[in-house]
Structure 1
Amino acid sequence: MDPRPPTPAHRLGPHPLTEEGIAALLARYEFGDSCLRRVVLDQEYGPRAAGGRLARLVVDARVVGEGLRWEPVCLELHDVRRLRIDESVGFSWVLYDPPRFTRFDGLLQVDLCAERFGSLRPESAAEVFEGSQLVFEAVGGSWSALHPWQR
């Protein structure tokens, strides 16, 4: 039996991670001091597999305009081509800046340690992955607001 609470169900969404969807995500949530609560990686195998890996990233973030109440938000990345999760001692799973979304070579990069760039923009997918402790590259994805965690 798993003692952890299950990932909450969708409350709003899913919204595609297009330019408009990303803008809506970043307008809805304040990510400073938010916490990455769960990373779920899933991949099917066999002749009937849908193909590609799926990554679900659940982040507790604050809702802008609603008293900055905490709300879980799920980034669901489809057909993940590459990822990097560095579980080094120095990485706390706290996000100090909003995720950075870039596109290179037709793929979406989601960097959850984007503070290292400051106001600069990475120039390539290789640069996005250099030095990041938590980054994913996928064909596409969506985001959803989730119901609160069960206590």
Structure 2
Amino acid sequence: MDPRPPTPDQRLGPHPLTEEGIAALLARYAFGDSCLRRVVLDQEYGPRAAGGRLARLVIDARVVSEDLRWEPVCLELHHVRRFRIDESAAFSWVLYDPPRFTRFDGLLQVDLCAERFGSLRPETASEVFEGSELVFESAGGTWSALRPWER
């Protein structure tokens, strides 16, 4: 039996992680000092499998337009090609900057340790992965606002 609370149900969304969807996500949430609460990786196998991995990233972030109220937000990445999760002593699962979304070779990279770039933009997909402790590459995805966590 898992004593942890389940991931909350969707309240708003899903919204695609397109240019417009990413802009809406970054406008809705203040990610400074937000916390990555849960990472769920899922893989289907067999002849009816949709193919590829699914990654759900649940982040507790603050809603800008609602007096910085905490709200869980879920990034759901489809057909994840590769990812990197380093559980080092230096990485505390606190996000100091918003996630950085880039596209190279038709794939979406979501870097949750993007502060290392500062105002610069990575030039290749491999550069996104170099030095990041939490990064995913996928064919696409969505984001959703979730209901508050049960206490």
Normalized against structure 2, the TM-score is what? Answer: 0.99
* Match of residue 146 from structure 1: 146
* Match of residue 53 from structure 1: 53
For residue 20 of structure 1, give the secondary structure of its aligned residue in structure 2: helix
Give deviations 1:7-64, integer Å, cap 9, x for gaps.
0000000000000000000000000000000000000011111100000000000000
| Equivalent AA in structure 2 for residue 40 of structure 1 | V
CA distance in 1, matches of 2:93, 2:116: 15
Give aligned pairs, total. 151
* Match of residue 32 from structure 2: 32
* Match of residue 77 from structure 1: 77
CA distance in 1, matches of 2:66, 2:97: 19
1:65 deviation in Å? 1.5
Task: Give the RMSD, CA atoms, in angstroms.
Answer: 0.3
* Match of residue 125 from structure 1: 125
> Matched residues, percent identical?
88
| Equivalent AA in structure 2 for residue 149 of structure 1 | W
Structure 1 gap segments, 5+ residues each:
none
1:135 paired to 2:128: no
* Match of residue 97 from structure 1: 97
Q: Which portions of structure 1, spanning 4 or more consecutive aligned residues, are displaced by more than 4 angstroms?
A: none
Structure 2 gap segments, 5+ residues each:
none
1:90 deviation in Å? 1.2
CA distance in 2, matches of 1:28, 1:137: 23
For residue 65 of structure 1, give the secondary structure of its aligned residue in structure 2: helix
| Equivalent AA in structure 2 for residue 133 of structure 1 | E
CA distance in 1, matches of 2:19, 2:34: 22
